[in-house]
Amino acid sequence: MSMATASLSSRQETVPPEPGEIPDLARYDHVIIACSFGKDSLASTLHLLEKGVAPQRIEWWHHLVDDDGDVFDWPHVPDYGRHLAAALGVRLYFSARQGGIVREMLRENAPTAPVWFDTPTGRVTVGGKGPPNTRRRFPQVSANLSVRWCSPYAKIMVADGALRNQARFSHARTLFVTGE
């Protein structure tokens, strides 16, 4: 499990703990897990619960890489996630880039699509106002994020937009947990 903190005010900082070191979890106002509902995110959740983090302090953020499509996301996953979150007592929020990864993959002379994300008070949409550009590339199989554009555009930048555009994270200590 890798853990990084995101302290948001006018800028975002990432400060990882030393390998094997668990940060003082009581110091965080928010604990977010980038959740696929797979073994890494479930193990991270169970570990945090075992370390005493109250379930109501944990948020699962699941990125729908297809938005409302059915190319890469399995159709049963959102309902499975809802049931799993309810069973563990954690809050679940969905997010996506409009049109999903297929729209981004086929993008031609168009800006990168807006991002939507669920919040405690409803759904918010941001972005999509950038300059026109062309992608026209299939996602690359690589650990190198400079060529593997799908993870940043379908997940990392979506989470970044959700973090930066919610006032509840301003001037708060947020622990963001991923399974990488």
> Residues 43-99: pLDDT tens digits?
999 999 999 999 999 999 999 989 988 888 899 999 999 999 999 999 999 999 998
Among 89, 94, 101, which Cα is nearest to 78's? 94
Angle at 87 between CA 84 and CA 90, to 5 degrees: 80
The pTM of this model reads 0.81
CA dihedral (115, 118, 120, 121) in degrees, to 10, reads 70
Q: In this structure, is residue 51 part of a structural domain?
A: yes
Query: What domain range includes position 77?
Result: 2-16+26-178
Residue 6 maps to a domain: yes
In this structure, what are the phi and psi dihedrals at residue 103, rounded to the nearest 5 degrees?
-60, -45
At 39, the pLDDT band (50, 70, 90 cuts) reads very high
Distances (CA, A) of 6 to 3, 22, 41, 79: 10, 15, 18, 29
Does 151 fall in a domain? yes
Of 15-29, 98-112, 159-173, where does mean pLDDT reach its minimum?
Answer: 15-29
Q: Quick one: pLDDT at residue 68?
A: 85
Is 158 within the bounds of a domain? Answer: yes
Reported as a pLDDT band with limits 50, 70 and 90, residue 40 is very high
The residue among 53 and 138 whose pLDDT is bigger is 53
CA angle 6/11/15 to nearest 5° reads 35
How many domains, in total, are found in the chain?
1
Assigned domain for 100 exists: yes
* pLDDT tens column, 87-120: 999 999 999 999 888 888 888 888 889 999 999 9
Residues 6+ apart with CB under 8 A from 116: 95, 96, 98, 123, 124, 125, 126
Residue 71 lies in a domain: yes
Q: Within a domain: residue 21?
A: no
Q: Is residue 113 part of a domain?
A: yes
